[in-house]
Chains A and B, each alone.
Chain A
């Protein structure tokens, strides 16, 4: 069965620390990959997406993600986090037309 795994349920970092959130998917076909962010009390927003081409994808707010096909991974990174990055982060895969599967989310807490 197709699935998306985010093993970090809750990550706590200090400001200016580097961030890496793990995302692994299980699907053998062509995948489209996404990272979404949900700030407290707000709706989901798209951070970045990968469809094809350069496996290193740049997104908004200084985030980036790297698609490593051999590892079935699409980890999210940011070199220096800010307090305003406190949010819930969701990895998602579009395994076939319109069937998007979300991971369970990673809560990121940033200490000021």
Chain B
């Protein structure tokens, strides 16, 4: 049983397209995240949702929009893709945010390549 699953694993698309990455967790966690790992392997948080409510929204272009239909899902929609969006995007979840998480469970990542 995959705890945090992301789809697709690989995504190759042309500049200007709109694409979505889906994330689901079956751990019963309240908090979910999207991280971006750039070509230098540096991870940066993009968004965090707690019980479907946005609690972290780092400085990312408005083209990126997270959507959380329920607390087990956090999808990432990207409009008008640009070359610089090429990266690996990781979804993660944690049990709770206000008492401090015991750790994060990460998905396997989605490698996005914009051509």
Contact = CB atoms under 8 A, between A and B. Distances in A.
B68 interface: no
Interface residues of A, number: 22
Interface in A46-79: 46, 49, 51
A34 B98 contact: no
Contacts of A46: 103-104
A98 B94 CA distance: 9
Interface stretch (B15-23, B40-48, B76-84): B40-48
A16 interface: no
A94 B43 CA distance: 14
Given A44-B90, A102-B44, A104-B41, A97 B109 contact: no
Interface string A80-112: 000000001010001001111110110100000
B100 A32 contact: yes
Contacts of A90: 43
Contacts of B48: 98
Across chains A and B, which 5 residue pairs bring their CB atoms closest together, nearest first?
A: A98-B97, A102-B43, A43-B108, A44-B106, A105-B41
